Chain A
């Protein structure tokens, strides 16, 4: 008999965070603007890069983020799921991507697909919740099919629904299988899987003459208000962790000792207070990085920061993410792009999927893998036509698959 899960401190944490998103959104625009914005978001394609702040408005983007996250929290609680590190990571990832691609309309068809897979396998749905939550990376497929194929909406809307359901159905089995390709050194495993699926899906679409539209909606000029909000948020989380850890950072060194390779669940291994401290610190670190390089705070970059924050309960910490930032930075000095180019800002933030390489093999290899990633990520988006929101996870999976065996060549010899 499974113990009843209570609405514990972790549930309160993610719920309060979601409410923060909503309240912040409500302070930015009028209710009518937000309502109109939410409709625009729900009925527009969400392929990369669709910054909802630009597509609609800041209020709608943050309300969308908070509401989508709240609904997933409700789903997890309804499923009586204990919130361990991987779910904190998933919820923050959803919150982040609900600022540029996931919305109240397009996420559910993937979930239905995963649910059908569970029914087909005669397994409880709870067994596949991780795949379901992260699988919403493919949500833009739903929006794209519904609103961008040029087909009559009477046909395109059911087609979009079916596409989402079909992709959700195949995702769990592929995600579990493809994890072997990168041996857990890419934290965004579903991103890699979704990239593979998206590549095949888009190839089929293109072979029937459907072209996926590339999009580029990227807002600038909001660093002031957004940095105040985010610094406040992360200081609060850090402060809460500090307070509940006997008003100290005692024990935090042990978090830094982990490589971060899948699976490293800080919540289960080191407890809630230290995990919160880590979440606060990485949030402050990554936010400061964007501001220091002259980057832009907007839907996509905040999405990247939120993803780092979430995965700070599941593998990331300052010691294994700084080499990734450094690698992308070094790349910008020698390559044709600038460190503040939108795609490169995202490459640094989401490239931290490769943090376990730095954690396991040393910072030098972290820098090297990020250096490669910052080039590769610019070339793989075309393959899936931007329909896989976790484009960096796709690229990071490829980098890890190639780099890890090479790095291991120079590692310790097992036979001695």
Chain B
């Protein structure tokens, strides 16, 4: 359980850094601990010129859940620093089961679902 929360916090850390790099100045985070899953929702503004980063985010977060990758690499999530070339969004994708991304001209909403392990 303790490790599970560490993983959630790593996911939040990674997402927060990436969204900040997208130009977000106000990020609303909603965290739900449900009996069978965790749901994280991020809502924020972004800079339109960085829309390519959103397309990349869609690609990375849509990776399927891979528990073996998670168990070996999860500590790396949240290591992303602003302006750096790489990030660990694909790892976030591998640590989550479902992703929904909505965006318009200046707002983006990302919903991540992580099913709890039995």
The answer on a CB contact under 8 Å between A183 and B67 is no
Q: Which residue of B lies closest to A125 (CB)?
A: B68
- Indicate whether A263 sits within 8 Å of B68 (C-beta atoms), given known contacts A184-B76, A184-B79: no
- Indicate whether A263 sits within 8 Å of B91 (C-beta atoms), given known contacts A258-B86, A360-B85, A414-B81: yes
- Indicate whether A412 sits within 8 Å of B69 (C-beta atoms), given known contacts A263-B90, A269-B90: no
Q: Which residues of the other chain, A, contact B86 by a CB distance below 8 angstroms?
A: 258-259, 261, 264, 356, 359-360
Q: Which residues of the other chain, B, contact A127 by a CB distance below 8 angstroms?
A: 67-68, 71
The answer on a CB contact under 8 Å between B69 and A176 is no
Distance A185 CA – B2 CA, assembled complex (angstroms): 27
Q: Which residues of the other chain, A, contact B68 by a CB distance below 8 angstroms?
A: 81, 126-130
Number of A-B contacts (CB under 8 A): 78
Interface string of A130-165 (1 = CB under 8 A from B): 110000000000000000000000000000000000
Q: Which residue of B lies closest to A265 (CB)?
A: B90
Q: Is residue A179 contacting chain B, with contact meaning CB distance below 8 A? A: yes
Distance A269 CA – B68 CA, assembled complex (angstroms): 17
The answer on a CB contact under 8 Å between B90 and A262 is no
B67, B84, B88: which contacts A263 (Cβ < 8 A)?
Answer: B88
Q: Which residue of A lies closest to B117 (CB)?
A: A123
Interface string of A228-271 (1 = CB under 8 A from B): 00000000000000000000000000000011011111001100
Q: How far is the CB of A193 from chain B (nearest CB, A)?
A: 11
Q: Which residue of A lies closest to B91 (CB)?
A: A263
Q: Which residues of the other chain, B, contact A177 by a CB distance below 8 angstroms?
A: 75
The answer on a CB contact under 8 Å between B85 and A179 is no
Q: Which residues of the other chain, A, contact B83 by a CB distance below 8 angstroms?
A: 411-412, 414
Q: How far is the CB of B16 from chain A (nearest CB, A)?
A: 13
Q: Which residue of B lies closest to A178 (CB)?
A: B75
Q: Is residue B72 contacting chain A, with contact meaning CB distance below 8 A? A: yes
Distance A124 CA – B117 CA, assembled complex (angstroms): 11
B59, B60, B79: which contacts A183 (Cβ < 8 A)?
Answer: B79
Distance A341 CA – B72 CA, assembled complex (angstroms): 35
Q: How far is the CB of B69 from chain A (nearest CB, A)?
A: 7
Q: Is residue A364 contacting chain B, with contact meaning CB distance below 8 A? A: no
In chain B between 80 and 103, which residues have their CB closer than 8 angstroms to a CB of chain A? 81-86, 88, 90-91
Q: Which residue of A lies closest to B74 (CB)?
A: A176
Q: How far is the CB of B48 from chain A (nearest CB, A)?
A: 21
Q: Which residues of the other chain, A, contact B72 by a CB distance below 8 angstroms?
A: 86, 128, 130-131, 172, 175-176, 179
The answer on a CB contact under 8 Å between B81 and A262 is no
Distance A86 CA – B70 CA, assembled complex (angstroms): 12
The answer on a CB contact under 8 Å between B82 and A262 is no
Interface string of B50-74 (1 = CB under 8 A from A): 0000000001100100111101111
Q: How far is the CB of A130 from chain B (nearest CB, A)?
A: 4
The answer on a CB contact under 8 Å between A263 and B69 is yes
A81, A176, A411, A414: which contacts B71 (Cβ < 8 A)?
Answer: A176
Distance A268 CA – B64 CA, assembled complex (angstroms): 10
Distance A179 CA – B88 CA, assembled complex (angstroms): 14
The answer on a CB contact under 8 Å between A130 and B69 is yes
Q: How far is the CB of A380 from chain B (nearest CB, A)?
A: 23
Q: Is residue A180 contacting chain B, with contact meaning CB distance below 8 A? A: yes
Q: Which residue of A lies closest to B17 (CB)?
A: A414
Distance A183 CA – B85 CA, assembled complex (angstroms): 14
B63, B67, B74: which contacts A268 (Cβ < 8 A)?
Answer: B63
Q: How far is the CB of A172 from chain B (nearest CB, A)?
A: 7
Distance A346 CA – B81 CA, assembled complex (angstroms): 32
Q: How far is the CB of B88 from chain A (nearest CB, A)?
A: 7
Q: Is residue A84 contacting chain B, with contact meaning CB distance below 8 A? A: yes
- Indicate whether A259 sits within 8 Å of B75 (C-beta atoms), given known contacts A126-B67, A130-B68: no
Q: How far is the CB of A379 from chain B (nearest CB, A)?
A: 28
Distance A414 CA – B17 CA, assembled complex (angstroms): 11
Q: Which residues of the other chain, B, contact A269 by a CB distance below 8 angstroms?
A: 59-60, 90
What are 8 of the A-B contact pairs (CB < 8 Å)?
Answer: A127-B67, A128-B71, A129-B68, A177-B75, A263-B91, A269-B90, A411-B83, A411-B84
**7 closest Cβ contacts across the A-B interface?**
A412-B83, A259-B86, A130-B72, A127-B71, A259-B85, A184-B76, A414-B82
Q: Which residues of B contact A (CB under 8 A)?
A: 59-60, 63, 66-69, 71-76, 79, 81-86, 88, 90-91
Extra inter-chain contacts (8) besides given A180-B76, A263-B73, A360-B86, CB under 8 Å? A84-B69, A127-B67, A127-B68, A127-B71, A183-B76, A269-B60, A360-B84, A412-B84
